[in-house]
Structure 1
Amino acid sequence: MNKILKIAVVGPESTGKSTMSEYLAAHYNTIAVPEYSREYCANLTGDCTFQDEVNMFHGQLALEKKLLPQANGILICDTTFLTVKIWSEEMFGSAPQEVIDELPQHPYDFYLLLDIDLPWQDDPLRNFPTKREYFMNVWHRELQALNANYIVISGLGQDRYDNAVKAIDKYLNPDFQD
């Protein structure tokens, strides 16, 4: 079996990660792993706890593992469990040790860091409309700490999608010309 390339679509809240992931999966005729925490948090009856973050970490990994065999050469991941680390540190002051320990064990081949140039869209699961720039800086720092191969994707409408496709095509074929 050929290696499946894992491409992660990450970034602050309200940057279009889910929509981008679905678009890219359709474009590359493959599957997108949804963000596990969306469904998990939608079913919470109270505030998210530290244990909930641990549960979301395990859920995201399990969902990715379950969907990996369905990928057609590329697996598009709507976020990663790195989000658990970022949110835990923001909400609780620290991240679960098992998340920190596992980060280097689950690398992604390429990350698309979606820029904060989209207008904010309200959503019951979004918490920080005024901290998008702060979280963009956090994402840069975290990806750099992992020595991750990533690029920032900006643009509105179709331009944003086109920029993501160009970035992936260039990653897949470094000789690719725009």
Structure 2
Amino acid sequence: MKMPVAGIDGVARVAILGAESSGKSTLSEALARRYSTVWVPEYLREFVDVHARVPREEDQFGIARTQLAREDAAAHVAQRYLFCDTTALMTALYSRVYWDRVDAQLAQLAARHAYAITLVTAPDGPWEPDGLQRESEEVRQMVHRLLLETLDARGIAYTLLAGDLPQRLRQVEQLLGAP
């Protein structure tokens, strides 16, 4: 098995992408526990909780920038792997979905997609509402299709993870090796 390439901070950053309600956060946290490291939670959740609203177009760059800053900070304490629950690429994709455009600064952050591995969570579990943050099963499926198209168009290799959490953990372990 080929080992993921570590970044300049000495850890292999693993991007965990997917549409709403597809298990990114659950998987990220479980992987961090399994590999005895840390993970970077999705800042958007905190943003929605703190502001009691969904983000506006002008918030998108700040959300992505904060996510990346938290990722950079976590890389200093991570061991071998850093599991990143979403990236600027997802923020940019949602900007395209909701406003039909991506701010130039956000597009620049999204273009940086410098991850050793990109994992995509399939939307194969039940859709669950989550207050202000989630739309519908139809939006979830559309975002999933757009994500795969975006990754393919940009030539970003990814592994699609399907099934329940134990199945997904086994799929990742096949990629990364045993902890």
Q: TM-score range by the shorter chain?
A: 0.7 to 0.9
Say what the alpha-carbon RMSD is for the aligned residues. 2.0
Q: Which residue number corresponds to residue 162 of structure 1? A: 170
Asked if structure 1 preserves the Cα contact closer than 8 Å seen for 2:9 and 2:76, the reply is no
What CA deviation, in whole Å up to 9, does each residue of 1:43-101 have, x standing for no partner? 22444211111210111111111111011011110111111101111111111111212
Q: Which residue number corresponds to residue 43 of structure 1? A: 50
Q: Which runs of 5+ in 1 are unaligned?
A: 171-178
Paired AA for residue 106 in structure 2: V
The CA deviation at 1:137 is 1.1
The CA deviation at 1:145 is 2.8
The CA deviation at 1:2 is 6.5
Paired AA for residue 114 in structure 2: P
SS for the counterpart of 1:91 is helix
Q: Which residue number corresponds to residue 59 of structure 1? A: 66
For 1:59-138, list aligned pairs within 5 A: 59-124=66-131, 125-138=133-146
What CA deviation, in whole Å up to 9, does each residue of 1:90-128 have, x standing for no partner? 111111111212333341111110011111112111113
TM-score, structure 1 normalization: 0.88
- When residues 73 and 157 of structure 1 are mapped into structure 2, their CA distance, relative to the original with a 3 A threshold, is closer
Work out which of the residue numbers 126, 149, 152 in structure 2 matches 1:144.
Answer: 152
- Matches of 2:39 and 2:9 in 1, distance apart? 18
Aligned positions, number: 171
- Matches of 1:2 and 1:69 in 2, distance apart? 7
The CA deviation at 1:142 is 1.6
Asked if structure 2 preserves the Cα contact closer than 8 Å seen for 1:155 and 1:163, the reply is no
Moved more, 130-139 or 8-17: 130-139
Identical positions, percent: 28
